[in-house]
Each structure stands twice: as C-alpha cells, then as structure tokens.
Amino acid sequence: MSEPWTELLDEATRPYRKAGRFAYHFARGKLGRDPVFRAILEQGLLAGSQHILDLGCGEGLLTAWLQAAARCHDRGSWPQAWPAPIRPQSIRGIELRPPEVMRAQRALGALCGVTQGDIRTAALGSADTVVVLDVLHYLPAAAQPQMLHRIRAALPPGGRLLLRVGDAAAGLRFRVTQWTDKLILLGRGHGMLTTHCRTLGEWRELLTASGFDSTPAWMSQGTPFANVLLIAHAR
C-alpha cells in the first residue's frame, strides 16, 4: 500500500475511534478493502458533484472518505495521477438502523449529515448525485422500481446515480457475494434478511424504465464478489 494511500486511509478512519472499536475497525476494513471507494477518487466518479445524497449510508463512510481526501490534498499528500478531490457543498445520508446513525454522528460530529429514516419513505429532497452502494437488493422486488423512480425525481436531468449491485448471472462469484452478505448481517445482529437480486441486464433494464441511461463498471477488484457499479445519468 503506497504512502499517500495509507495516509488517506488513516485520515478517513481516525474519527471513528470516537465511535468505538467496532466502528473504527469496520471503517478501516471497508475503506481499505472495498475497491469502490478508491475508484470514486481515482476515477473521479463524483466529479462536479455539489449536493450528494448517500442512501443506506451506514456509518457515513462516504462522507468521511471525501472529507479526508480534501484534507490530504490540502497537505500536498495526494497521488499526482488522481484528479483533485471534490469539495461538495453538502453530503447528506439516510440510514435505517439507529446504531449506524449513532456511530456516524459520534465519529463525524458537526460535519455529519446522516439522519435516520427509511429510504423508501423519507424525504429525499434534491441532489445532483445520489449514491446507493449494496442496498437496493434488500428492498422487495416490487419496491426497487419505486425507489429508483423516487431517486429520479430527486435529480435534475443529467443528474448522476452511482448504484452498486450484485450480478445474479455471475455464477459462483455471485453465490460467494450472497453468502458473505448473509454472514456479515448475522454477525452484526440483523438476522437472515431476504434479498431480491437481479442479473446485470435486469438491473440495467430497470434503470432504463426508471428514466436513466447507465454504464456498468466491474467493481470487485481484489475480491471474490460479483459487484458491479452502474454509473447512471438521469434523462
């Protein structure tokens, strides 16, 4: 792991020490191993975003990540090959589980924009970018298009949606994704939740029907999973 990358990881996870050992180690593991967070910065996937809405945001890792990136850039500790990090005017998050919200608020303090609510019914307001990472498959199949229509209504034409999903057509990699998902949920005391998954083609068809054009990007580098990031723009 390169020195700038290690410094960024340290900077992003340090605030979670205030939220307890679990919050800190979870943040360290997720930000350090999940390729989507590095891709967001390395590929400039949020370029131009001023008002970001993070749905199912957990303990606010995306907020911590973007704030840490800006601080590292200001100190001159930033990979030259990466685009400059964004400095959005607002980052809001909605999370269903109160313990996650509490950890986010303890870690991020006054900089925390995470509130408790059900993304299916909470007021979304408006945003120019919506981020939904590994969340939509927990909603019932009939609720998924409804949720995407709600997201489309919160975005202007040309607004961006970053949606990470599992590809149910990916064979063994998808089964590993499901097993790991269930084990993590059990370990965190959430029981055996039912998931409602689709193939990549079906996810893209659903986005098209909801008013989006999408481009897929494989987002499981270095892992055994079948995750795909759909980079979608509102029509």
> CA–CA distance from 203 to each of 16, 96, 122, 159, 176 (Å)?
34, 23, 23, 18, 19
Q: Is residue 192's pLDDT more than 80?
A: no
Specify whether the CB–CB gap between 129 and 162 falls below 8 A. yes
Assess whether pLDDT exceeds 80 at residue 44: yes
**How far apart, in whole angstroms, are the C-alpha atoms of residue 81 and residue 42?**
8
φ, ψ for residue 193, nearest 5 deg: -75, 140
pLDDT surpasses 80 at 182: no
pLDDT tens-place string over residues 92-136: 999 999 999 999 999 999 889 999 999 999 999 999 999 999 999
Question: What pLDDT was estimated at residue 181?
Answer: 73
Q: How confident is the model at residue 14 (pLDDT cuts 50, 70, 90)?
A: very high
Sequence length of the chain is 235
State the Rg of the chain over Cα: 17
Which residues in 116-154 are b (16+ Cβ under 10 Å) and which e? Answer: bbebeeeebeebbbbbbbbbbbbbeeeebeebbebbbeb
Confidence (pLDDT) at 70: 97
Most confident of 73-82, 187-196, 203-212, 222-231: 203-212
Backbone angles phi, psi at 186, to 5 degrees: -65, -45
| 40-49, 124-133, 191-200: segment of lowest average pLDDT | 191-200
Predicted confidence band of residue 189 (pLDDT cuts 50, 70, 90): low
Does pLDDT of 200 surpass 90?
Answer: yes
Q: How far is CA 54 from CA 57, 58, 127, 160, 179, in A?
A: 5, 9, 10, 12, 25
- The number of domains in the chain is 1
| Coil, strand or helix at 204 | helix
Extract the runs of DSSP E, i.e. beta strands, from the chain: 51-55, 90-95, 114-116, 129-133, 160-166, 212-218, 227-234
| pLDDT above 70: residue 145 | yes
We report the CATH number of the domain holding residue 76 as: 3.40.50.150
The pLDDT of residue 177 is 78
Of 61, 218, 231, 214, nearest to 130 by C-alpha is 231
With tokens 């919050």, the residue in question is 23
The pLDDT, as a whole number, for residue 196 is 92
CA-CA-CA-CA torsion sign (105, 107, 111, 113): negative
Phi, psi at residue 220, to the nearest 5°?
A: -135, 20
What is the pLDDT, as a whole number, of residue 188? 58
Q: What range defines the domain where residue 95 resides?
A: 3-234
